[in-house]
Amino acid sequence: MPLHMIKLCVGVSEVETLERRAAKNEWLIVHTRMTPKRAAEIEDGGSLYWVIKGSVACRMPITDITTEGEGKTSRCRITLAPRVIRTAPLARRPFQGWRYFDPKDAPADLSSLDAGDMPEDLAKQLREMGAW
């Protein structure tokens, strides 16, 4: 089972913005300071889950993780597939950097849930209350 990552999507207030950027091949490379020690597990089918406005809203599959440079100047480059997959909303408090995200804690994809025509705001409220 692949391991995932979770990160705040700073500067983006809605999933549609991320979808438009991904369609233009923008935001497909994310730079971070620290390289995950468990990169092999993540590259084996893992995704980067994005926290937008206080809740996990979507994910993008990770295709590659590489380290650029050496020593104190090294940086990690995370390459994402140009596909944004919406997820069930899951409240998350702010944090710095990225975190590992265990598959058992990850929200389900909206395509695999039967939400019908429920508005996203209502689904988020129900999820936060623990009713859905």
Q: What is the pLDDT averaged over residues 9-22?
A: 90
Which residue has better confidence, 83 or 123?
A: 83
Looking at the predicted structure, is the pLDDT value of residue 39 above 70? yes
Tokens of 70: 């050496």
The overall average pLDDT reported for the chain is: 87
The reported pLDDT for the residue numbered 72 is: 84
- Number of Cβ within 10 Å of residue 43's Cβ equals 18
The reported pLDDT for the residue numbered 85 is: 94
Lowest mean pLDDT of 35-39, 44-48, 116-120, name the range: 116-120
pLDDT tens column, 70-98: 888 889 999 999 999 999 889 999 899 99
Looking at the predicted structure, is the pLDDT value of residue 113 above 60? no
One-character DSSP codes across the chain = ---EEEEE-TT--SHHHHHHHHHTT-S-EEEESSPPTTHHHHHTT-EEEEEETTEEEEEEEEEEEEEESSGGG-EEEEEE-S--EEEEEEE----SSEEEE-TTTSPPBGGGS--TT--HHHHHHHHHHT--
pTM of the model: 0.82
